């Protein structure tokens, strides 16, 4: 990755490390973002007794560690592998994956400007990283909140084409909730009543599809879960009211996520 941070990491920070040397009771690593060396004592590799440290780490392997102690005077950084939970490891891995995508966007920008990728990255990073921890956060702010990159001090030569690429490559985040509506009506014009009640609720963010046998799927999209829930409730209340007004039966079952 092109991302390089200055100084030292903070205690408690999660960092990606590449194993460089495995010894009998310790492991030496290179902390990727900081380009510094660190050490993991055997007691911080895994809980319990370790017979062979190489069962857990090997040279060249990328691992996620937690910074537990820093001595800047001596240049020592102590790390732990066992104190990183599976959830933290997944989150850190996803974070890295998203930042790699952000760097791919910078690579595309460099091609457009006919510049060296590292040169373009340094120009963009020098303006965005003081405000955002990662480039991906700056790009998400642009997409979600229309935050202009020029406001960070990035010159138009980079900002304008970069905004176009970001909006093309990154889509606004959405949450989705769905469920099944079951309707029974014995009214003479029941089919028309049901169609009318459902069609009134269909919008760009609310989709309703006929499944057969009086069942319909409803899907609601929004930026936030709370907003999606509110939209779903309002739509269901309107449909229920219309159906029950004509002596019909209405039932809704929410789909549970896996």
User: Contact 178/217 with Cβ under 8 angstroms?
Assistant: yes
**Which CATH number does 87-169 carry?**
1.10.150.190
Which pLDDT tens digit goes with each residue over 91-108? 999 999 999 999 999 999
Distance from C-alpha of 15 to C-alpha of 92, rounded to nearest angstrom: 8
Model pLDDT, residue 258:
57
Model pLDDT, residue 188:
87
User: Contact 170/139 with Cβ under 8 angstroms?
Assistant: yes
Distance from C-alpha of 153 to C-alpha of 131, rounded to nearest angstrom: 11
Model pLDDT, residue 96:
93
Give the residue, 6 or 62, on which the prediction is more confident: 62
> Which DSSP category does 43 fall into?
G
The fold of the 175-254 domain, in CATH, is Alpha-Beta Plaits (3.30.70)
The fold of the 15-84 domain, in CATH, is OB fold (Dihydrolipoamide Acetyltransferase, E2P) (2.40.50)
Q: How far is CA 55 from the centre of its chain?
A: 32
Which pLDDT tens digit goes with each residue over 195-210? 999 999 999 999 999 9
Distance from C-alpha of 209 to C-alpha of 101, rounded to nearest angstrom: 35
Model pLDDT, residue 48:
87
pLDDT (mean) for 16-38: 95
Beta strands in 72-186, from DSSP E residues, in sequence order: 76-80, 175-184
Q: Quick one: residue 132, left, alpha or beta (phi over 0 = left, psi -120 to 50 = alpha)?
A: beta
Mean pLDDT across the chain, nearest whole number? 93
Which pLDDT tens digit goes with each residue over 150-192? 999 999 999 999 999 999 999 888 889 999 999 999 888 999 9
Start and end residues for every CATH 3.30.70.1130 domain found in the chain: 175-254
**What is the phi/psi pair of residue 249, to 5°?**
-110, 135
């Amino acid at each position: 990755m092109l991302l390089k941070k200055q100084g030292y990491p903070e205690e408690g920070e999660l960092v990606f490390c590449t194993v460089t040397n495995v010894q009998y009771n310790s492991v030496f690593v290179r902390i990727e973002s900081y380009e510094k060396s660190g050490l993991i004592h055997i007691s911080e590799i895994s809980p319990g007794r370790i017979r062979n440290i190489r069962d857990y780490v090997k040279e060249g392997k990328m691992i996620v560690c937690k910074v537990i102690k820093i001595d800047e005077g001596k240049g020592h950084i102590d790390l732990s592998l066992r104190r990183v939970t599976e959830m933290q490891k997944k989150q850190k891995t996803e974070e890295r994956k998203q930042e790699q995508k952000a760097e791919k966007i910078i690579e595309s920008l460099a091609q457009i400007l006919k510049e060296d990728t590292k040169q373009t990255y340094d120009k963009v990073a020098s303006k965005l990283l003081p405000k955002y921890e990662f480039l991906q956060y700056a790009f998400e702010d642009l997409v979600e909140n229309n935050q202009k990159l020029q406001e960070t001090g990035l010159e138009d030569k980079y900002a304008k084409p970069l905004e176009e690429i970001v909006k093309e490559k990154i889509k606004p985040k959405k949450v989705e909730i769905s469920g099944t509506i079951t309707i029974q009506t014995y009214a003479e014009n029941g089919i028309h009543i049901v169609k009318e009640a459902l069609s009134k609720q269909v919008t760009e963010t609310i989709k309703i599809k006929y499944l057969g046998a009086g069942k319909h799927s409803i899907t609601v999209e929004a930026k936030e879960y709370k907003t999606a829930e509110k939209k779903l409730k309002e739509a269901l209340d309107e449909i229920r009211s219309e159906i029950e007004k004509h002596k019909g039966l209405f039932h809704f079952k929410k789909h549970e996520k896996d």
